[in-house]
A and B are shown apart, each in its own frame.
Chain A
Amino acid sequence: MANPSTKGSKSGFVARRQWWGLFFVLPTVVFFLVFFLYPMITGIYYSFTDFTLLKPPTWVGLQNYQDLVKDRLFLTSIGVTLGFVLGSTLPVWIVSLLAALLFYQKFPARELLKLLFFSPVLPSLIVVAIVWRILLHPNGILTSVIRLVLHVPEINWLDSPTLSPLSMILINAWTIIPFYMLIWLAGLTGIPQELRDAARVDGATFSQSFLRVELPLLGPTAVFIAAISTINAFQAFTLQYAISPNRGGPIDVNTTMGLLIWKYGFQYYRMGDAATVSVILFAIIMIVTIIQLALSRGDQYSLN
């Protein structure tokens, strides 16, 4: 604890001073009470009500939850979300690690190449969506090149029910891999050079040194990236909203739970249903995160 001790006789002055801390944190706490806790509680309440913007919420108990379990679109959206999460976690985790290992080495023009590699982090997801719409257009530049390589007559990335979820995963990977690479790189840089040198002196090859020295020390970074990539992927919304035909199509293969919240809430104004999907999505994210943290704790233990 960095705080001065508050015991002793001359402590009245010091104790009174501590209240200034409350003064400093109060604006933030009040803000989160009004714009976080209050909507959080009302959101849970709305999930138990029949509520459209035209009529005030009326209590219906678990009705919304029971309806959703039978709701085809909702069940589809769970599958769509899980598919996107699977494609956007482990592959991204591995590729970003490989990229970090690459840019951690010494070679000519490294900083410039890293700069170029990093560029997808900058544009907003809407800009990303517009650019990739053109690249993946049936006559787009990327499709043309791929068609040439694979010798296929036509590829319709975004309108095909099988290819378009894959496109979402690829585009998302493109924007997010450089960002996770950066976090891996920060983790790698934090490992003292002496440890690596010691391993080399002991005759370890590069792969041995990586597996035995770097990887265990990267443990916290690995867990961190696994956790945030999962949480981010569960919230998938913007790409699906902006790229897929009819906002989530074709035939709803891109309707993630995040998109469904928007659809129910702001397209159909079914606020009760939208709130229910929100609560369920939140519960899923919480459960998955807790499982991940529990597993990772076991992992670190076994490494010792």
Chain B
Amino acid sequence: MHKQLTPVLLFCIALIVAVIFFFPLFFMVSSSFKAENEIFAAPPHWLPHEFQGLRQYQTGFQAIPLVRFFFNSTLMASIDVAVTVFFSAMAGYGFAKFNFRGRRWMFYFVLATIAVPFQILIVPLFVQMRRFGWDDTYAGLIVPGIMNAFGVLMMRQFAYGIPDELLDAARIDGAGEPRIFWQVVFPLLSSASASLAIIIFLFSWNNFLWPLIVIRNELYQTLPVGLTVFTQPHTTQPQWAVAMAVSTLATLPVAVLFLFFQRYFVEGLVLSGLKG
């Protein structure tokens, strides 16, 4: 009897814990279908009583340039992902499989960039962007965050696992080094690339500090910064239901990615030890 009771008890505890942690997001989605006056209704409305359909979503698109924000976030995230994955794989392979002069120092240097929080760099980096004439441009938004040392570390770890015999066989067949990287090494790193890609997407999509600082012009703003209008309701007429609709939209791409690629998602998060 004792043996049967334990799983049920564990299930009950886990259910309570899961409900507590899931509730805010449930509330967000549920409220995005509510009428404005339902948000603070007493007693609380757990589900919409006056179901609004997509009305609050439509209002969201009218209230802020949401399409533009989505475009900018997508642009930044895709470039970040593509560049980070490709160059991390290259550098990881270089550090793992070659023995050139200065290799150790260059590796320590890349490693050191992890130890320094990005926050420390925002002041000089912003000044640098102004010097480059990059403030308020896509270049300023995207380029400084385009590489990630953690990606290099991760790829290096995976590249160690590639057998030297395989590389030598390709060399004997007369393949040049760039071709070996592109046709032999890079495909072998595809599982690691998937994890890295998803994690970089999450960071990039949710990144807030740098876009906040470098972009003033609404045309180049990304979603998280664009949503800040809803965080200071003293300045505008609060539209909480609309805020919930827009928040739901902003979270949707990450949620979909998570549901479809759970394994890579979790692996990437664990390996990175970071949450944006």
Task: Check if A and B associate.
Answer: yes
* Residues of A in contact with B (beta carbons under 8 Å apart): 1-4, 6, 17-25, 27-29, 31-32, 35-40, 42-43, 46, 53, 99, 102-103, 105-110, 113-114, 116-135, 137, 139-141, 144-145, 174-179, 182-183, 186, 224, 228, 231-232, 234-235, 237-238, 242-243, 245, 258, 261-262, 265-266, 271, 274-275, 278-279, 281-282, 285-286, 289
Q: Is the CB of A108 within 8 A of B11?
A: yes
User: Residue on B with the closest CB to A34?
Assistant: B128
Q: Which residues of B contact A261 (CB under 8 A)?
A: 119, 122-123
Q: Which residues of A contact B22 (CB under 8 A)?
A: 116-117, 119
Does B126 have its Cβ within 8 Å of any Cβ on chain A?
yes
User: Residue on B with the closest CB to A225?
Assistant: B273
* Residues of B in contact with A (beta carbons under 8 Å apart): 6-8, 10-11, 13-15, 17-19, 21-22, 24-25, 27-28, 31, 39-40, 42-44, 87-88, 90-91, 93-103, 106, 109-110, 113, 115-117, 119-128, 130, 143-144, 146-147, 149, 152, 160, 164, 168, 177, 181, 202, 205-206, 208-209, 213, 223-225, 227-228, 230-231, 233-234, 240, 243-244, 247, 250-251, 254-255, 258, 266, 269-270, 273-276
20 contacts between A and B (CB under 8 A): A4-B164, A21-B98, A22-B94, A23-B177, A24-B181, A25-B90, A25-B94, A31-B147, A107-B7, A116-B21, A117-B14, A119-B22, A127-B247, A144-B42, A183-B269, A183-B273, A275-B123, A278-B119, A281-B119, A281-B120
Q: Which residues of A contact B125 (CB under 8 A)?
A: 35, 39
Q: A123-B250, A139-B42 in contact; A271/B19 too (CB < 8 A)?
A: no
User: Residue on B with the closest CB to A184?
Assistant: B270
Q: Is the CB of B25 within 8 A of A123?
A: yes
Q: Is the CB of A3 within 8 A of B97?
A: yes
Identify A144's interface contact among B44, B270, B276, CB under 8 A: B44
Q: Which residues of B contact A141 (CB under 8 A)?
A: 27, 44
Q: Which residues of A contact B115 (CB under 8 A)?
A: 286, 289
Q: Is the CB of B223 within 8 A of A28?
A: no
User: Residue on A with the closest CB to B9?
Assistant: A107
